Amino acid sequence: MILDKYKYLLFDLDDTLLDFGKAQVLAFRKLLEDENIEYNDELFEQYETINKFLWRSFERGEISNKEVTSERFIRFFKLFDRKVDGNEVDIRYRGYLAEGNQLFDGIIEMLEKLTSTHKLYVASNGIGITQHTRLKNNNLNKYFEKIFISEEIGSKKPDKEFFDIILKEIDVENKDEVLMIGDTLTSDILGANNVGIDSCLVDIHKTSNPEIVPTYKIAKTIDLLEL
Ligand SMILES: [Mg+2]
């Protein structure tokens, strides 16, 4: 079994362990309800375009994560000629995001198995309080030795520094024993490549890029057990 050669497994959170798409739509619906705007899928797509554009700028180091999270709602509500306090709306949105069970099917069973054979970690780009609340609400903390969140460690995927800090913290002697598992080529896989560890792409978005190649590719996270 390929997975046997690794000792440390680093998991991305959003769209790897947690179904971020499902959580986002629910939170977005609640936000529109607050503003008396009727939800439709097209509005969510418009929001997503703005949100993704800003997160890509963040990954390139052009803006901070705080700018992403306040600016996304200012830009979205501008479509309705509404002026909002971007921070206030974002805090409300993140409150909604953190509610409820958002796990993909089979994740708990997978972690139960892996926790007896490997050391597990979370390596996530995101806001500390949001990610901790979501981990707690989904009962995930007990499976992980340590949780690494970009906002808290002061560096982010795909930066080499983010991974250097993690490898140092968990006292890795041999980088060949570390596997990064995540759904995003431009952060999870590129980051693993930057620091020289193996990676496994959870290909739920069906993306590919000839310049960012993962070591392994699986269709969904629980397929890791078949690797
Ligand atoms: Mg992700």
Lowest mean pLDDT among 44-48, 71-75, 111-115, 127-131: 127-131
- Is the CB of residue 187 less than 8 Å from the CB of residue 159? no
159 is catalytic: no
95 pLDDT band, cuts 50/70/90, is confident
CA of 16 to the centre of ligand 1 (A): 6
Which one of the listed residues 4, 12, 34, 203 is annotated catalytic? 12
- Judged against a pLDDT cut of 90, whether residue 18 lies above it is answered with yes
CA of 82 to the centre of ligand 1 (A): 31
What is the rounded CA–CA span in Å between residue 201 and residue 188? 8
Q: Could you tell me the pLDDT band of residue 174, with boundaries at 50, 70 and 90?
A: very high
What pLDDT does residue 100 have? 66
Question: What would the mean pLDDT of 182-204 be, rounded to a whole number?
Answer: 97
Distance 201 CA to ligand 1 centre (A): 10
| CA neighbor of 93 nearest in space, from 101, 103, 85, 104 | 85
pLDDT for residue 127 = 85
Task: Give residue 179's pLDDT.
Answer: 98
